[in-house]
Amino acid sequence: LFAVDYIVDKSFRVYLEKTTGMPTFDGAWDEANMIADMHDLVQELNEVPVAFEGMVKGDKYGGWELIFSELSETCHKILYNPCHAFIDYNDKDLTKQNKKVGRVQATAKRLENEQKRIVKKTEERKKQICRENKVPYPGTKCNKLVETIDQEEFNKLFKEHEQSFNPNDFRLPKPGEVFPHEIVTSSGGIQPPGGEAADKR
């Protein structure tokens, strides 16, 4: 078991600092599970090696991730050289690329931004419905109205689904086939029984 230390400069280039044998964990890692996974991995690899032949770079076994496979060398006829990997990586100007990725992901707040967008769209819809029905927004009456409309729409779609789907007439679809009860029309409803199925892909 080895620990590998890296240094990253201001241009995001990576440099190997040192490699240490038998490192100390100091509570930073779950040492017990890591060693247990490593033991199971080595044992299974020796007993049933064929189970690992389909693994590719990035696949995981417990807490371990595959970063190199000798089978890859056999397929590509190119020997793996970690020095070349460093050279190829550091040859790219990653400063602009990292700034662009940071903007796209909003500094790891993409999920939060998406949740805010959903809340905003939901409130805009609620406001429109209440104004169309001349109900004060915001307020309890407005919330109740929207809940009632949503429930009625759900009941309508569920009823249409029950009418178009017969669980006793079950069969697997043919390649490219879409069952009528799986098709949602442009109006938001479900295609009635006997309608022609269409491939939505």
Residue 109 pLDDT exceeds 60: yes
Greater confidence (181 vs 88) lies with 88
Model confidence over 158-185: pLDDT tens digits? Answer: 787 777 666 666 666 676 666 665 565 5
CB 184 within 8 A of CB 164: no
Q: What is the pLDDT of residue 167?
A: 62
d(CA 17, CA 31): 23
Sequence-distant (6+) residues with CB within 8 A of 188 are 153, 157
Across residues 82-101, what is the average pLDDT? 72
* Amino acid, res. 135: V
- In this prediction, residue 112 has a pLDDT band, given cuts at 50, 70 and 90, of confident
DSSP H or E segment with residue 6: strand 2-8
Q: What is the pLDDT of residue 198?
A: 43
Across residues 14-21, what is the average pLDDT? 83
DSSP H or E segment with residue 96: helix 94-104
Strands 2-8 and 60-61, sheet pairing: unpaired
Sequence-distant (6+) residues with CB within 8 A of 34 are 63
The pTM for the full model equals 0.38
